[in-house]
A and B are shown apart, each in its own frame.
Chain A
Amino acid sequence: DVKVTQSSRYLVKRTGEKVFLECVQDMDHENMFWYRQDPGLGLRLIYFSYDVKMKEKGDIPEGYSVSREKKERFSLILESASTNQTSMYLCASSLGQAPDTQYFGPGTRLTVL
């Protein structure tokens, strides 16, 4: 079974803090993704990576950056957290072969005060 783990289930941070969200997958998947989920808006893609050190912007990259130094690990960074970044953050990975099914971690509920 594919396992995708995220470093924290719940996180509370203050406005202006730098926040790191870590994601690890154990299935040697090529692709990794960061989404945020907000009620009524579905899943919105922040960034994705199709290889080590490679990254592509998704639909809402503003205020975020990512890092993929190792194949199994994909980090999401909030450079200066703001209250509108309070959300559920979901990491996913996929094999990178057509058709492509994504497998998700449990999510991190981030609250920015």
Chain B
Amino acid sequence: DQQVKQNSPSLSVQEGRISILNCDYTNSMFDYFLWYKKYPAEGPTFLISISSIKDKNEDGRFTVFLNKSAKHLSLHIVPSQPGDSAVYFCAAWGGSYQLIWGAGTKLIIKP
């Protein structure tokens, strides 16, 4: 059973508008969440993270929101730019060696 779910395989957004990528998790023991960005034929790169003791973390155009009661987090990108077109992975850490990964959402920014 998937513990981290990204239910939208793809998302298309107009350049300059807000992109919102969603992620749901089932394990309440997760206490740290990460977002990675991946371009084709490259490895994922770390984008932003959030600890479970916070409900928001911001880094430039990127903001991650965490709703622990709903077991839901979202990544907001404002404003969206063409270079943001990539696959975005959500991952959760629960204290072991492993990260638990979502299946990814492909973001397409339209000019």
Give the number of residues in B that approach A within 8 Å (Cβ atoms).
24
Any B CB within 8 A of the CB of A106: yes
Residue of A42, A100, A103 near B103 (CB, 8 A) is A42
The B interface, classified by DSSP as helix, strand, loop or mixed, is loop
Any A CB within 8 A of the CB of B9: yes
Residue of A42, A96, A101, A103 near B104 (CB, 8 A) is A42
Write the nearest CB–CB distance from A25 to chain B, whole angstroms: 12
Any B CB within 8 A of the CB of A41: yes
- CB-defined interface of B43-70 with A at 8 Å, one 1/0 digit per residue? 1111001010000000000000000000
Summed over the interface, the residue pairs from A and B with CB atoms below 8 Å come to a total of: 57
Write the nearest CB–CB distance from B64 to chain A, whole angstroms: 14
Give the number of residues in A that approach B within 8 Å (Cβ atoms).
28
- Complexed CA–CA distance, A48 and B43 (Å): 17
Write the nearest CB–CB distance from A107 to chain B, whole angstroms: 5
Contact (Cβ within 8 A) B89 A101: no
- Complexed CA–CA distance, A40 and B7 (Å): 11
User: Please, which residue of chain A has its CB at the minimum distance from the CB of B103?
Assistant: A42
List the A side residues contacting B103 at CB < 8 Å.
40-42
List the B side residues contacting A44 at CB < 8 Å.
101
Residue of A31, A40, A99, A109 near B49 (CB, 8 A) is A99
Within residues 71 to 111 of chain B, which ones have a CB less than 8 A from any CB in chain A?
89, 93, 95, 97-99, 101-104
List the A side residues contacting B46 at CB < 8 Å.
101-103
- Complexed CA–CA distance, A99 and B57 (Å): 15
Contact (Cβ within 8 A) B42 A107: yes
* Interface residues of B, Cβ cutoff 8 Å to A: 6, 9, 31-32, 34, 36, 41-46, 49, 51, 89, 93, 95, 97-99, 101-104
User: Apart from A96-B97, A100-B93, A107-B43, what 9 extra A-B contacts exist at CB < 8 Å?
Assistant: A31-B97, A40-B103, A42-B102, A42-B103, A98-B95, A99-B32, A100-B32, A104-B36, A106-B43
